[in-house]
Structure 1
């Protein structure tokens, strides 16, 4: 059997008692052999009794922990950093150890560590859904606030663990729960997580869009603008966030956008403001119902106009260029005035359908009369196939692929190795 590395030897010498078994020696050491990674587990007495890697499973570690606890070790006793066995079991996702420690009197909501967190907080930070479920069943309180002022759902949002967020909400956690500074999960997501998630995920649970924090009196939209979070701004505008709410300094989201000089967000907010004003018009409300049809008709007209101008019986490129500029300017003005910003994403689809339409018209009018009908069948089938697969791609839910924790580790061995080494070094001082 391969001898332990220097780090493993040092740790084996420095760790004594129950912590050897229940903390460090529960870790995994990965050794690179050629292009492969072998996983080996070490127990407390490895330097005296080497363990076969094939037999060093978690069941053996559990039994050793049971022996030490049954011998009189107090499961509530924290180490010198005020961290309990329950915390270590939670962060390493050891379900059997959690059940055993709680059965022996471990306090499920005991605070510990530098962040004054509960074992549930540790599990949520790591995204261990199975551990979160178990701790809640054992009576853990997700509403408790850690040293940073975050409750369980706030931590799940900051670390972007959507399954944990969904589970906490399903168990009664309010989506509008506030942290120590009065921020809701939606505010934290808009401020600290650049990207569409978990902001979009939280919006599905109908959170309050007008809620403000205790200090700055900012809404989620204020925080998204301050952070330059374009995705969150777009999602919050689509959800109907109020543009006129002022914070403690009397600033609206648009005022903040101008302060940070974010041109894109300024454009988004001003366009949204104009669109909301226009929605009071009956004509605009009628056009809004048929925006995609309007986009398709506009793209059809634009492509026809371009072809017509290029085919003009004139040698003046100045005339043709001027007409093209006029057409493009008119199209741009039309879309800005009558199409909402969020619906401009359909413009590429409208142009694609327009291209297929004019391609088909050209084929049937100019080519089909001069060829055999049998020669036109491949073209017809190709167009039908294109439209069918375009529709399926657009409208069909692609679903998702389930992957276990073990499979994830196999797919990212280097990342797992780095995590394990970091955990070992962090715990070296105990």
Structure 2
């Protein structure tokens, strides 16, 4: 009998193990690991099969990760689309309070950020230390992401646990383009 590794969902064949219990020699934990790995690897068709078999699109595993957080963070547009269309919540947080939107703000994946925002992701949902997706975009020099988040209603004045806001972070980095963007945004709000 061939062993199936949770690290390689393709090795099990075209159909996922049935959700909701053991399938053959698969335990529920193994099924969940295969499902999560399909999200991490961006296997949209396999994700669909798992969801058809009854897997919860909001399953949370180690460190609080969800399929949507993993697919988003790894830049898998098609997998993100499948998960959102199948009811995945865009605002679930991992154990550090990070959301899928925070992850893509950090990475700079604009198309996925747009998808998450269109699906109703809260633009200013802070993590455990009070940092918002906009703050991550600023901290990692993702100017286009910062622009998108501002247009979606992100607040540049939200303060984190250290008392800093996105404007402070842009000033610390000497990011003149973002500082100008924030001034432009502020003028538009007046």
Normalised to the residue count of structure 2, the TM-score between the two structures is: 0.81
CA contact (8 A) 1:132 1:164 kept: yes
Q: Given the superposition, is the C-alpha separation of residues 231 and 164 from structure 1 closer, same or farther in structure 2, using an over 3 Å criterion?
A: same
What is aligned with 2:46? 97
What is aligned with 1:124? 72
Q: What does residue range 17-416 of structure 1 map to in structure 2 within 5 Å?
A: 17-19=3-5, 23-24=7-8, 26=10, 61-63=13-15, 65=16, 71=24, 73-74=26-27, 76-78=28-30, 84-113=33-62, 115-191=63-139, 193-213=140-160, 215-240=161-186
Equivalent-residue separation in structure 2 for 1:195 and 1:111 (angstroms): 28
* CA displacement at 1:150 relative to structure 2: 0.6
Q: Given the superposition, is the C-alpha separation of residues 240 and 167 from structure 1 closer, same or farther in structure 2, using an over 3 Å criterion?
A: same
CA contact (8 A) 1:62 1:96 kept: no
Q: Provide, for residues 124-158 of structure 1, a one-character-per-residue CA deviation record: whole Å limited to 9, x for no partner.
A: 11111221121122222221111332111111111
Q: Secondary structure at the match of 1:84?
A: helix
Q: Secondary structure at the match of 2:180?
A: helix
Q: Given the superposition, is the C-alpha separation of residues 219 and 131 from structure 1 closer, same or farther in structure 2, using an over 3 Å criterion?
A: same
Q: Provide, for residues 92-130 of structure 1, a one-character-per-residue CA deviation record: whole Å limited to 9, x for no partner.
A: 2222221222233333222224x4311111101111122
User: How many residues of Structure 1 are paired with residues of Structure 2 in the alignment?
Assistant: 183
> Larger Cα Rg: Structure 1 or Structure 2?
1
CA contact (8 A) 2:97 2:128 kept: yes
Q: Provide, for residues 307-332 of structure 1, a one-character-per-residue CA deviation record: whole Å limited to 9, x for no partner.
A: xxxxxxxxxxxxxxxxxxxxxxxxxx
Structure 1 regions of 5+ residues with no counterpart?
A: 1-15, 27-42, 45-60, 242-430
Q: Which has the higher helix share?
A: 1
Q: Secondary structure at the match of 2:92?
A: coil
Superposed CA RMSD? 2.7
* CA displacement at 1:66 relative to structure 2: 5.6
What is aligned with 1:396? none
